[in-house]
Each structure stands twice: as C-alpha cells, then as structure tokens.
C-alpha cells in the first residue's frame, strides 16, 4: 500500500449496516485475507477519498464493545491496541444505527477514549422521519467532539461526506477522550494507572489490565507494573461495571440535548413479523420450509448450469485433443488440466445458490430468529442457538462454517460445534452425491410432483444433520470441559436484503472457494494424470504384452486400443496404489478404480469425481464424446454386471456422508483448536464410522 494512504478501521455493532458502508466506499476494490496470525477473515478495500487521497479501509467484525467475550470481538481489541505502525489505523470510522444510537455510542465512547481520530457515521437516516426521530447534528458534533456524518449506506447517501470527514479528521490534531473514566470511578486508582506510562492513553492502559492483552511495544517494566493492577479481580469487575454505567450516563446527557424520538410514530412491523416467525408451530414450519426450498433449489436449479458445464468441458477436451499435435503436453492439457478446471467450475452454481440463500437470510434479520427458536433444542446437544448458523453454513463449506463458530463464547459449545460441522453435507459432497444418485436412483416422480432423486438427496442431508446432532450429544456427555455458557443475541429489525450486499457476499465467498479449493483440485488433477500415465517396468510393457496376446485372438483394432489403455492404467503408479488397498475396500463393494478415487479424495471430496473423470478419460477411446456420467454408467464389474449398481452406490453414498475427507477442513480445525488432537479425533472417528456403515450397508444390500 502506498505510504500516504490513510489507514481506516471500520468498526460498529452488528446489524448497523457496516458492510453496506464498506461496499459503498470500496466497491469492487476489495480483497479478503487473514489477519496476521489468525484465520479470521480480514476484509480490506481501497477507497478514493479525493483526487489526491486514497484510503485503505479494513472492515472489522461487528462488536458491542471492546471488552471481548468471543474470538471475533477480540480481533477488534487486538487491532486497536496494536502499536505496530504498519497495522494500527490512522482514523477509526464508527458506524452507528440511528435507531439504536444510545447503545452504539457506548462503543464509540470507548474508542474515543483511546484518543485515536474518530469519525462517527450515523446510518439509516432515511428512516428517521418514519421512526419519528430528529437529531441536532451540529450540537451532537460539539458534544461528542468529533466528526459526525448522517448517511444511508443502502441508498448511497452521505458517502462523500464520510470521505471528506475522514480527510479532515486525519489532518486534525490529536484526538481527546470523550468520557475520561478516571474522575468518576476511583480517581486515585486511575491516577496511579496513568503514571505507569506516558506512551499510552489511560484507557489503553485500562484495557491492557482488564483484557490481559499487551501490545508488542510495551516494555517489560511497564508490563510488570500493569500486572500488579490485575491482582484484585473482583475490583476490576466492579470498576468495569461502574465504567459502563458511567458511560451510559454521559451518553444519556448528550442524547437528551440532541436526539428526540416520537414513539407514537414508530411502526410496529417487527412485532407482527416476530409473532409469525417465532410462533411455536409456524416458526418451525417456516424454517423447515425454507430449508426444503434451499435443498430443492440446489438440486433442481443448479443441475441445468452444471450439466451444461459438464458437457462443455467434455467438448473442449475433445476439441483440443483433435486439433492439437499429439504429444505429452496435449495429453496433460486434455486429460489433466481441462478436466481438472472443469471439476472446479462445476461447483460454482451450487455454491453460489447456497451462499445466496444464507446471505439473504442473514441480511433480512431472519437468522437471529432461527437462533432464538433453536437455542433450547441445541443446548440439549451441547451446542447453542448460534451453532445453527455454522451447521447451515456447513451445507456450503465446512471452512467458513468452522470460522463462524467464533461468535460462540463458551469453549465447550464452540468445540462441539467445530467437531460436528463436517457431518453436515457440504457442497463438495454434492457432485459425488449427484453423480451417484443419477446412476442408481430412477428419475421417477412421487405423488406426481416430488422428484425421487431430490428426495434421496434430501435424506442424505437429513442423515448428515442427524449424525451431527447425535455426535454432538455423545461429545456433550463425554467431554469433560468446564466452560461457562453465556448467551445473548440481538434481534435486529427486519430489513429487505440489499442486492449489492448479497451480491458482494456471494461473489466473494464463491471466489474464495474456487481459488482456495480450486488450487488443490487442479494440482491433484495434474498429479493424478501423471500417476495414471506413468508407471514401473510393467507399465511400459503393457502395450507390447497386450498386442502379443492379441495375436492369438481375433480382435478389432479398436478393441486392442481399449485393452492397451486399460492395461496401462492397471499398471500405472495409481493403479498399483488402488490395487494395494483393494483388499481393505472389497468388503465395501469397491474395486481398485474406486480405491484410487478414495485415496485422492482424502484431499477434498469433490476430487472423487475429478479422479474418475481422469481415470475414465485416460481409459476411454478417442472417438466417443461421452460425459463422465455415461462413462460411469457403462462400467462393468468382474461378473459383467454394472459396476455402479445399487449396493455399491448406496455404500459409496454412506461412505461420503460420514468420512472426513477434506484436508483444508482438518487444517482449519487445527488452527482453531490450536492442537492436532481434535482434527485427528475427527479424522479417525469419522472415517471409522464411514467404513463400518458402508460395510454394513453393502453386506445387507448385496
């Protein structure tokens, strides 16, 4: 980033429209990364403040105060206390919601006391008249001693004012505190605290003591002195309570002069909608209906573009094969790279649809009602209402889902949620399910409108959820972790989703998935192609042996070609690997080719389809344009029957429902739990369960 860019940190309570403002300020100049040392998403974007001045804006997780109770919130504290010149913000932009200004100002007052230049953007002012709110802006500016801007981020109002205020704020002198916590609580105590270091504001020192969070720049001597203040825990707690009440008193004084609400004008749509959405019968019925719509749409809507992508890539592969010079590079392209890319692109429709639904449900405020409805149920299984969001997000991808557990403040509830999330059916399982279902389940309609294939898919999702819940219950009863469960969630006002916010969200998450998982899949496709087209001595002799044997038989040249390809694959490195595990997977109904796919899909489940695509495109003869599905349908087993028959298909479906086959998820669990213990338990527990269940299913059905 250029040196003269202003570093702006965007902070605010959840549901204040922080993300809308971020999107308006930065547009498409956004990127997602990780905060140094942690895996929480870091959203950054550049904004053109004026013709000569740019700003780098960092969107911080939503928080009610800088006294964190969850991991997400501790990021905010860390960013603010960081005294690293490169990371610490020049200007803080606090976003507040006009309707909850009082509560939003608590966070503002804390930030102001850090003595960093601060701009307050009051959002959703387009609703002021409707809600009967009026505000004295110039007096509020004076009282808060800061830049205050009225905006409506959704309607793109006041964005230029925000930009101008950031510039003014940046050039102005050092900011002064708002509340000054020392005088009212215990002047002596805070005076002593302030004397420890002149390099930090009093409030920074107070936060270091109460939050046990020290910046890298602090000296050992200063830290020791601060640690002495930590001794009396009950006193610290009492002072924090006093501090909060004092802050509210100050805020009330200011708002009394500047902010008027005429309650008679407020409309009561919220309570009417709440009566429906949190109703003891309708509430659950609506939730179930929404889930049904999501799952049906993933299978129905997404299948059209997916079939199109599938056949397009088959055609591209054939086209390059027929039009390029034969050789190793052409083989790599047509058998490794193109099917590999196709295997990534094919997810986009499903992932985008899932993320779209989740983004809309979050934006409208409905998700909080789901948390409210589900808390008691989830608690029975050792989780809490907030675990519902990771479990639903898990249907898209376990990685963001595990990150979403950061809002859960109890460690035990959070750990259980992390451990069971991979059971929910993520979108990487979908291609595997989709192809197997289409092979073994007939395309009939039940009652004339329900798609049987869709129903089977739905029951696989139900199986995933049920297993997650059951596993949670077992963990709840067996894990001996003392952890206080504390639960509070805000019920935001209902809002119409903004197309821009939803669009950015879907775009960003799909991009992150495609580039994150895509790299692994593509790399594996190339490795696979190499392993499938190379081998030891027997591989090199395969062609010769087949042709020699063929002399005794009457075979067409086409049949010989096919036999050669088949023999080559069998003797390739990957064929050897697949065959060596065949004894272990035979009781599940799998042959060595499926064995190859099982090995490779430990990297990521979706690689299963890509692997089979590679295997069959290596094996198939050149003349036919067949898609992977047709190739699998025509595979035969030793007895001459269909290889992907009903028992094998069911066994595979169950295996993929349970097995922990995602290296990326294991890596995230390791980072989140800070030990290899939990990911290893997940890996062996889930895969063991998968093996046993597939074994039982296959033995019963065959």
- Residues binding other proteins (CB under 8 A): 64-65, 67, 69, 99-100, 102-103, 106, 237, 240-241, 244-245, 248, 270-271, 274-275, 278-281, 283-284, 368, 371-373, 375-377, 385, 485-493
Residues 6+ apart with CB under 8 A from 307: none
The residues that bridge with 14 in the sheet, in sequence order, are none
CA triplet 690, 423, 657: central angle to 5 degrees?
45
> Residue for token digits 């490779």?
600
> Smaller CB distance to other proteins: residue 211 or 296?
211
In what side-by-side order are the strands of the sheet with 54-59? Answer: 30-34, 41-48, 54-59, 6-12, 91-97, 118-123, 147-150
Q: Rounded to whole angstroms, how far apart are CA atoms 296 and 395?
A: 13
DSSP reduced 3-state for 639: coil
| 252 is annotated as contributing to ligand binding | no
Smallest gap, in angstroms, from Cβ of residue 277 to other proteins?
Answer: 10
Q: Rounded to whole angstroms, how far apart are CA atoms 56 and 292?
A: 41
| 67 is annotated as contributing to ligand binding | no
> Smaller CB distance to other proteins: residue 213 or 312?
213
> Smaller CB distance to other proteins: residue 85 or 488?
488
| 501 is annotated as contributing to ligand binding | no
Q: Rounded to whole angstroms, how far apart are CA atoms 341 and 604?
A: 15
> Smaller CB distance to other proteins: residue 263 or 674?
263
The H or E element spanning position 133 is: strand 133-135
Q: Rounded to whole angstroms, how far apart are CA atoms 53 and 591?
A: 64
Smallest gap, in angstroms, from Cβ of residue 633 to other proteins?
Answer: 47
The secondary structure of 309-374 as a DSSP string is HHHHHHHHHHHHHHHSPPSHHHHIIIIIIHHHHHHHHTTHHHHHHHHHHHHHHHHHTHHHHHHHHH
| 18 is annotated as contributing to ligand binding | yes
Residues 6+ apart with CB under 8 A from 452: 441, 442, 443, 444, 445, 446
Smallest gap, in angstroms, from Cβ of residue 37 to other proteins?
Answer: 25
| 382 is annotated as contributing to ligand binding | no
| 38 is annotated as contributing to ligand binding | yes
Smallest gap, in angstroms, from Cβ of residue 585 to other proteins?
Answer: 44
Smallest gap, in angstroms, from Cβ of residue 231 to other proteins?
Answer: 19
Q: Rounded to whole angstroms, how far apart are CA atoms 22 and 40?
A: 17
Is 207 within 8 Å of 77 (Cβ atoms)?
yes
> Smaller CB distance to other proteins: residue 245 or 462?
245
Smallest gap, in angstroms, from Cβ of residue 252 to other proteins?
Answer: 10
Q: What is the DSSP letter of 497?
A: P
> Smaller CB distance to other proteins: residue 64 or 695?
64
In this structure, the number of other CB atoms found within 10 A of the CB of residue 78 comes to 21
Smallest gap, in angstroms, from Cβ of residue 240 to other proteins?
Answer: 6
| 91 is annotated as contributing to ligand binding | no
Is 419 within 8 Å of 391 (Cβ atoms)?
no
Smallest gap, in angstroms, from Cβ of residue 190 to other proteins?
Answer: 18
> Smaller CB distance to other proteins: residue 158 or 385?
385
| Three-state secondary structure of 167-204 | HHHHHCCCCCCCCCCHHHHCHHHHHHHHHCCCCCCHHH
| 16 is annotated as contributing to ligand binding | yes
509: exposed, middle or buried (Cβ count in 10 Å: 0-12, 13-18, 19+): buried
| 90 is annotated as contributing to ligand binding | no
In this structure, the number of other CB atoms found within 10 A of the CB of residue 263 comes to 8
> Smaller CB distance to other proteins: residue 106 or 351?
106
> Smaller CB distance to other proteins: residue 283 or 390?
283
Token couple for 368: 């909080």
Q: What is the DSSP letter of 335?
A: I
| 123 is annotated as contributing to ligand binding | yes
Smallest gap, in angstroms, from Cβ of residue 158 to other proteins?
Answer: 23
| 60 is annotated as contributing to ligand binding | yes
> Smaller CB distance to other proteins: residue 274 or 543?
274
Smallest gap, in angstroms, from Cβ of residue 410 to other proteins?
Answer: 11
Binding-site sequence positions for GTP: 12-19, 37-41, 59-62, 123-126
Binding-site sequence positions for Mg(2+): 23, 26-27
């Amino acid at each position: 980033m250029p040196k003269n860019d202003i570093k702006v940190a965007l902070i605010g309570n959840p549901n204040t429209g922080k993300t809308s403002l971020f999107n308006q300020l930065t547009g498409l100049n956004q990127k997602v990364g990780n905060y140094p040392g942690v895996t929480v998403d870091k959203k950054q974007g550049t904004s053109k403040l004026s013709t000569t001045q740019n700003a780098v804006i960092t969107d911080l997780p939503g928080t009610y105060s800088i006294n964190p109770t969850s991991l997400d919130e501790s990021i905010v504290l860390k960013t603010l206390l960081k005294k690293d010149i490169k990371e610490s913000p020049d200007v803080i932009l606090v976003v507040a919601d006009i309707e909850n200004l009082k509560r939003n100002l608590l966070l503002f007052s804390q930030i102001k006391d850090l003595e960093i230049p601060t701009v307050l953007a009051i959002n959703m002012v387009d609703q002021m008249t409707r809600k009967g709110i009026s505000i004295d802006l110039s007096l509020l500016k004076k009282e808060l001693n800061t830049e205050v801007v009225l905006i409506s981020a959704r309607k793109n109002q006041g964005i230029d004012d925000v930009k101008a205020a950031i510039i003014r704020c940046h050039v102005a002198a050092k900011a002064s505190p708002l509340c000054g916590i020392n005088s009212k609580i215990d002047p002596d105590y805070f005076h002593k605290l302030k004397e420890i270091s002149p390099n930090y504001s009093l409030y920074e020192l107070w936060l270091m003591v109460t939050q046990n969070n020290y910046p890298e720049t602090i000296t050992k001597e200063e830290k020791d002195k601060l640690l002495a203040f930590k001794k009396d825990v009950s006193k610290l707690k009492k002072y924090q309570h006093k501090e909060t009440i004092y802050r509210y008193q100050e805020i009330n004084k200011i708002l009394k002069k500047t902010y008027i609400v005429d309650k008679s004008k407020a409309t009561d749509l919220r309570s009417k909608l709440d009566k429906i959405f949190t109703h003891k019968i309708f509430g659950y019925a609506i939730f179930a209906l929404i889930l049904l719509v999501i799952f049906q749409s993933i299978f129905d809507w997404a299948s059209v573009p997916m079939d199109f992508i599938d056949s397009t890539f088959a055609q591209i592969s054939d086209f390059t094969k027929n039009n390029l010079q034969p050789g190793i590079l052409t083989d790599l392209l047509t058998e490794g790279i193109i099917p590999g890319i196709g295997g990534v692109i094919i997810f986009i429709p499903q992932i985008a649809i899932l993320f779209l639904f989740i983004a809309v449900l979050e934006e409208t405020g409905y998700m909080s009602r789901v948390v409210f409805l589900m808390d008691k149920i989830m608690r029975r299984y050792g989780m809490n209402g907030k675990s519902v969001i990771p479990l639903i997000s898990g249907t898209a991808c376990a990685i963001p889902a595990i990150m979403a557990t950061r809002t859960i403040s109890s460690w035990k509830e959070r750990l259980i949620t992390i451990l069971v999330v991979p059971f929910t059916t993520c979108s990487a399982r979908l291609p595997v399910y989709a192809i197997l279902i289409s092979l073994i389940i007939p395309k009939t309609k039940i009652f004339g409108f329900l798609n049987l294939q869709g129903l089977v898919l739905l029951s696989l999702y139900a199986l995933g959820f049920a297993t997650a819940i059951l596993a949670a219950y077992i963990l709840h009863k067996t894990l001996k972790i003392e952890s206080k469960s504390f639960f509070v969630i805000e019920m935001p006002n209902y809002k119409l989703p903004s197309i821009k916010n939803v669009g950015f969200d879907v775009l960003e998450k799909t991009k992150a998935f495609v580039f994150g998982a895509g790299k692994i899949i593509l790399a594996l496709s190339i490795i696979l192609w190499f392993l499938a087209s190379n081998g030891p001595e027997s591989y090199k002799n395969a062609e010769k042996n087949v042709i020699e044997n063929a002399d005794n038989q009457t075979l067409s040249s086409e049949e010989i070609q096919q036999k050669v390809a088949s023999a080559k694959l069998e003797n390739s490195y990957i064929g050897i690997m697949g065959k060596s595990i065949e004894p272990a997977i035979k009781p599940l109904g799998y042959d060595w080719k499926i064995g190859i796919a099982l090995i490779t899909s430990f990297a990521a489940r979706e690689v299963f389809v890509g692997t089979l695509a590679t295997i069959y495109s290596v094996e198939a003869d050149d003349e036919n344009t067949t898609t992977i599905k047709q190739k699998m349908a025509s595979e035969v087993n030793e007895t001459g029957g269909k290889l992907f028959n009903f028992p094998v298909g069911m066994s595979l479906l169950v295996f993929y429902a349970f097995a922990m086959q995602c290296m990326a998820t294991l890596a995230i669990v390791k980072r989140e739990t800070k030990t290899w213990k939990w990911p290893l338990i997940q890996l062996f527990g889930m895969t063991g369960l998968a093996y046993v269940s597939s074994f039982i299913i296959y033995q019963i059905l065959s």
